[in-house]
Amino acid sequence: MQRALLKVTTHTSRVTVRYAETDQMGVVYHANYLVWMEVARTELCKATGFAYSEMEADGVLLAVSEAGCRYLRGARYGEDIDITATIADSNRRFIEFHYTMTCEGKKVATGRTRHIFLNKEFRPTRLPDRYAELLSAE
Amino acid sequence: MQRALLKVTTHTSRVTVRYAETDQMGVVYHANYLVWMEVARTELCKATGFAYSEMEADGVLLAVSEAGCRYLRGARYGEDIDITATIADSNRRFIEFHYTMTCEGKKVATGRTRHIFLNKEFRPTRLPDRYAELLSAE
Amino acid sequence: MQRALLKVTTHTSRVTVRYAETDQMGVVYHANYLVWMEVARTELCKATGFAYSEMEADGVLLAVSEAGCRYLRGARYGEDIDITATIADSNRRFIEFHYTMTCEGKKVATGRTRHIFLNKEFRPTRLPDRYAELLSAE
Amino acid sequence: MQRALLKVTTHTSRVTVRYAETDQMGVVYHANYLVWMEVARTELCKATGFAYSEMEADGVLLAVSEAGCRYLRGARYGEDIDITATIADSNRRFIEFHYTMTCEGKKVATGRTRHIFLNKEFRPTRLPDRYAELLSAE
């Protein structure tokens, strides 16, 4: 019997800009885009077949080792932002996600996060089989 | 030999308003005042003689059960805010702090937080002697 | 001709707890519940018939004068939280909202915010007719 | 008469990790390092001779166009973090800052932000003389 041929490696999430996320410039404070990437990453994990909270309960932490964002135009309070998260690269030691953020089809920002897998003692660890398969990390 | 007669029950901390803390109204987003209260509470604990992180390491969590704030005027980016935290009431089961926030001597906000002591299983617990004495919670 | 008999004075919004919203206690940091109340308040405004961003564009700011929250149990990463916001009291000078937050039907927290209407110069102002009617503030 | 020969192009700021900044992993949530960079950038501006709030009042916004961070080890509640901000590159159109974050001399993270100058209509603008000189952007 065959395994599923199609794996989920991308997913789009939507957030509505909160007042709390704006700053006095009248647009979203730049650090908050990283939070939106986290929302999209969480939902992408769910779409591949597991909740990230389960992985943590299994003793594997997905620690951010690098994060970056390019800002193309300021997002504003009340706007709906679509964040497409994609698994760009992965193996048993790390995973990299890329993100595209749009508002009504226009690009707002692009981003990238790289993560390493840590055990509860914050030491690098290898991703267990179950998650490796789901995250294309074999 | 006598115990010290004077206990620290109040302490003033200073924060400088961060751009991240403002919102598009041009003043500090209201939820951030609760974070400043936390800064002042942490420093008040230190002033009484212990680091809150030690208490957590000892298995006692200071969980917020109530929080409130009255806003008198909006704080602005770059302003120095003085937060005076005071132990208003305490026993082995709970502790209540009151806060006054000022900017150049003018009152900006007042606040109040009430906390209960929890163990690592998030069950109510009694505050151990060492901390009870320091927090006037006997 | 009659005015509409039924006004919207309550609305329920849902948020999913973000990792960013947790703290090292393993539950949501208490100040973030105020942000959820803002999300529910924004959606309640929309449900009554206007976007809060329009009101701001019209030169009326809804400044928080008081906020409070009682925490019943810690919300956790990934949980869906339903926030019911209700207009508890209002006139041309102020508005008060009450909030109930639940997770799978169990109460997590209750809250309350009171707001005054300010003009662009941060001076108290009277709420214009259009919004007064929608917010039951006549 | 001569101009000052020495310009300030680097400055070190200190923050103490707030409980609000941690997440359930027990370390600082990664987006908050960008806030610390903002704190250091603000203080570097002051050290060069102006408050960023003045520049905004003068109609020049310092909008973030790119931000990035590499995380070397997790910062923890209560730790003192030193953030050294340096002007890495600048002209009348943009400015780039580099950051090194340490805790007791050990590197915690490095970062980078790039900014463009915008006018109040969010259009690119040239940095006025006064600031250009202070920011080595001539």
Phi, psi of A58 (to 5 degrees): -80, 0
Neighbours of chain A (3+ CB pairs under 8 A): B, C, D
Of A35, A71, A122, the CB nearest to D31: A35
Q: Are strands C61-71 and C80-90 parallel, antiparallel or unpaired?
A: unpaired
Among this protein's residues, is D23 annotated catalytic? yes
Of B16, B19, B35, the CB nearest to D18: B35
Residue D24 pLDDT grade (very low, low, confident, very high; cuts 50, 70, 90): very high
Size of interface A-B (CB pairs under 8 A): 28
What tokens appear for C82 in the block?
């339903």
Structural Rg of chain D based on CA atoms: 16
Q: Which of A33, A54, A71 to mutate to test the interface with D (most CBs of D within 10 A)?
A: A71
Distance separating alpha carbons of residues D101 and C103, to the nearest angstrom: 39
Distance (Å) from the C-alpha of residue D10 to the closest C-alpha of chain A? 22
Distance (Å) from the C-alpha of residue C138 to the closest C-alpha of chain B? 25
Task: Please name the amino acid found at residue D79.
Answer: E
Distance separating alpha carbons of residues B133 and B7, to the nearest angstrom: 9
Residue B5 pLDDT grade (very low, low, confident, very high; cuts 50, 70, 90): low
**Closest by Cα among D77, D71, D78 to D33:** D71
pLDDT tens by residue, D35-87 = 999 999 999 999 999 999 999 999 999 999 999 999 999 999 999 999 999 99
At CB < 8 Å, which residues of chain D contact C?
A: 19-20, 22-27, 29, 31, 77
Please say if the pLDDT value at position B138 is more than 80.
no
Residue D136 pLDDT grade (very low, low, confident, very high; cuts 50, 70, 90): confident
The rounded Cα A99 to chain-centroid distance in angstroms is 7
Q: What is the DSSP letter of C59?
A: T
Q: How many CB atoms lie within 10 A of CB A2?
A: 4
Element containing residue B34 per DSSP (H, E): helix B32-48
pTM of the model: 0.96
At CB < 8 Å, which residues of chain A contact D?
A: 24-25, 30-32, 34-35, 38, 56, 61, 63-71, 74, 122
Q: Which fold has domain B10-81+90-134?
A: Thiol Ester Dehydrase; Chain A (3.10.129)
- Yes or no: say if C20 and A35 are a contact pair by the CB < 8 Å rule: yes
What tokens appear for D95 in the block?
């400015």
Of A24, A31, A77, the CB nearest to B22: A24
User: What percent of chain D clears pLDDT 90, i.e. is strictly above it?
Assistant: 92
**Closest by Cα among D64, D89, D93 to A71:** D64
**Closest by Cα among B74, B138, B63, B85 to B109:** B74
Looking at beta carbons, which residues of chain C come within 8 Å of A76?
53
Residue C6 pLDDT grade (very low, low, confident, very high; cuts 50, 70, 90): confident
- Which residue of chain C has the CA closest to D29? C20
What tokens appear for A95 in the block?
């995973």
- Yes or no: say if A60 and A12 are a contact pair by the CB < 8 Å rule: no
- Yes or no: say if C109 and C101 are a contact pair by the CB < 8 Å rule: yes
CATH of domain C12-134: 3.10.129.10
Average pLDDT, chain D: 94
- Which residue of chain A has the CA closest to B22? A23
- Per DSSP, the three-state class of C134 is helix
Average pLDDT, chain C: 94
Domain range summary for chain B, segments of one domain joined by +: 10-81+90-134
Of B19, B42, B51, the CB nearest to D42: B19
- Select from 3.40.462.40, 3.40.50.300, 3.10.129.10, 2.60.120.10 the CATH code of D10-134: 3.10.129.10
Q: Which of C22, C23, C25 to mutate to test the interface with D (most CBs of D within 10 A)?
A: C23
- Yes or no: say if D76 and D124 are a contact pair by the CB < 8 Å rule: no
- Which residue of chain D has the CA closest to C22? D23
pLDDT tens by residue, B69-109 = 999 999 999 999 999 999 999 999 999 999 999 999 999 99
| 3-class SS string, A9-74 | CEEEEEEECCHHHECCCCCECCCHHHHHHHHHHHHHHHHHCCCHHHHHHCCCEEEEEEEEEEECCC
Q: Cα dihedral sign for C21, C24, C27, C33?
A: negative
